[in-house]
Amino acid sequence: MTDAVLVLNSGSSSIKFGLFDVAVAEPALLCKGLLDEHEAKPRLVVKGPTGEDLFETRKETPEAAGGHLFADVLAFIEDRFGGRSLRAVGHRIVHGGPDHSGPVVLTDDIIAKLEALTPLAPLHQPRCLAPVRTLAAIRPGLTQIACFDTAFHHGLAPPANRFAIPRRFQARGVRRYGFHGLSFEYVAGRLAEIAPELVAKRTIIAHLGNGASLCALRDGRSIDTTMGLTPLDGLVMGTRCGAIDPGVLLYLQQHENMPVAEVQHLLYHESGLIGVSGISADMRTLLASHEAAAHEAVDLFTFRAAQQVAMMATTLGGLDCLIFTGGIGEHAKEIRSAIGERLGWFGIRIDAAANETAREQISGADSTVDVFVIPTNEELMIARHCAAVLRAM
Ligand SMILES: Nc1ncnc2c1ncn2[C@@H]1O[C@H](COP(=O)(O)OP(=O)(O)O)[C@@H](O)[C@H]1O
Ligand SMILES: CC(=O)OP(=O)(O)O
Ligand SMILES: [Mg+2]
């Protein structure tokens, strides 16, 4: 047996992982799982490529977990796929800053520079980088590769990458970066397989998950996106506010006497769907609720999503193709149809029966825009990048 890469997709609440065989042209999934160090009883769950249970372990307390779950993952891999050498670990790193337009092999110097970007993604960057440090400690010498959410948007040009503040700040890196790039890159690749004639057309991908953003694509490349310097901007999210009048932040500090750390917590953890509903950050819970506040939160979500689709369409000079992805985009038919209805003036028609089953194309024959549901796969995208980096090494 030959080469494998372990992929870690560290999100704000848990770590998803996948082990891929990269000796073949297209990385093949060997096993996948979930590593949750933040539960009361941290757990590791490993499943086969088609979801069958392979392994599960729990620690009694978070203190007992302290990095041991990673050692358990490595031990499981050794045990089960013994002859297959683990060539590298690939990480989803949310912020790559101005320096990275593609994946990079991590060194101490690069890790320190990425840690310094924490203020620009406080919800994600520490969670993405902690496993890098843990793995470096328990398996020194193991190649670790960073794949950035920002890299896909590296080509963003003025005016799309600018803020209207004094230009000296642009030179210091205060500009729009954009995120969810691994997801957008994967979905753009799937579109090229499903409907190659649409790749050259004006396309928007809506990644609607716990975090949410839109990407405007021309010829498969990002030319605009709704997130900016940080993953706070743009759409309403599970716990994040999305685009907001910057005067609100000044007001909170000056008149509510909130220190910066409290404002940061409010915007990243207490806003969005959870803030407006007061009930939940989870779209499933809100859609099932009969409370008026839940309805209002969902209404604001689709209102702002439709507005920003129109904004991205303006960047593109029109719209030919709209793709839904992410946990909400793939699974919440009510959200897709509400956004579609709000964009009815634009000629978008979502077919009710197709929307119900959500198998690829969901627009009606009378729609001026082709609308699709395409499941994302950030782990596979990371595995592909790692395979390319390893081939070049
Ligand atoms: N069947 C469903 N119906 C509605 N929403 C769903 C469904 N399945 C998942 N979701 C929503 O998807 C969101 C999580 O998306 P996901 O892309 O998995 O997030 P992340 O990777 O950012 O943690 C949650 O709001 C969840 O409620
Ligand atoms: C960048 C971002 O918002 O990521 P996630 O959706 O995983 O929170
Ligand atoms: Mg995600």
Whole-angstrom distance, CA of residue 54 vs CA of residue 80: 10
User: Is the CB of residue 179 below 6 angstroms from any atom belonging to ligand 2?
Assistant: yes
Instruction: Give the C-alpha separation, 348 to 340, whole Å.
Output: 6
In terms of domains, do 125 and 266 share one?
A: no
Give mean pLDDT, residues 144-157.
98
Q: Which of 94, 208, 232, 241 is the best mutation target for the ligand 2 pocket, counting ligand atoms within 8 Å of the beta carbon and taking the most?
A: 94
DSSP labels for 80-130?
A: HSTTSEEEEEEEEES--TTT-SS-EE--HHHHHHHHTTGGGSTTTHHHHHH
* Pocket of ligand 1 contains residue 328 by CB under 6 Å: yes
Task: Render pLDDT for 364-379 as a digit per residue (tens, 0 to 9).
Answer: 999 999 999 999 999 9
Ligand 1 center–CA 192 separation, angstroms: 25
67 and 142 co-located in one domain: yes
In this predicted model, what pLDDT tens digit does every residue of 89-105 receive, in sequence order?
A: 999 999 999 999 999 99
**What are the beta bridge partners of residue 165?**
none
Q: For residue 30, is it within any domain?
A: yes
Same-domain pairing of 223 and 97? no
378 belongs to a structural domain: no
Looking at residue 83, its pLDDT comes to 64
Instruction: Report CA 143 to chain centroid distance, whole Å.
Output: 24
Q: Which of 13-22, 81-90, 384-393 has the highest mean pLDDT?
A: 384-393
Same domain, 348 and 224: yes
CATH classification of the domain holding 246: 3.30.420.40
- The answer, as to whether pTM is greater than 0.95, is yes
What percent of the chain stands above pLDDT 90? Answer: 87
Summarize pLDDT for 193-210 with one digit per residue, the tens: 999 999 999 999 999 999
Mean local confidence (pLDDT), 181-204 = 97
Q: How confident is the model at residue 40 (pLDDT cuts 50, 70, 90)?
A: confident
Chain centre distance of CA 320: 24
Answer yes or no: is the C-beta of 12 below 6 A from any ligand 2 atom. Answer: yes
Residues near 377 by Cβ (< 8 Å), separated by ≥ 6?
186
Write the pLDDT tens digit of every residue in 340-357.
999 999 999 999 999 999
Is 189 contained in some domain? Answer: no
Token pair for 53: 């249970």
The first and second tokens of residue 182, run together, are 């691994």
pLDDT attached to residue 186: 98
The pLDDT score that the predictor gives to residue 1 is 41
> Does position 64 have pLDDT exceeding 90, yes or no?
no
| Percent of the chain whose pLDDT exceeds 70 | 98
State how many domains the chain has. 2
228 lines ligand 2 (CB under 6 A): no
Token pair listed for 159: 């005016």
Q: Which ipTM was obtained for this model?
A: 0.98
* Structural domain containing residue 15: 3-148
115 lies in some domain? yes
Strand partners, 105: 145
Relative to the CA of 210, which ligand 2 atom is closest? 6
Mean pLDDT of the chain: 95
CB atoms within 10 A of CB 137: 11
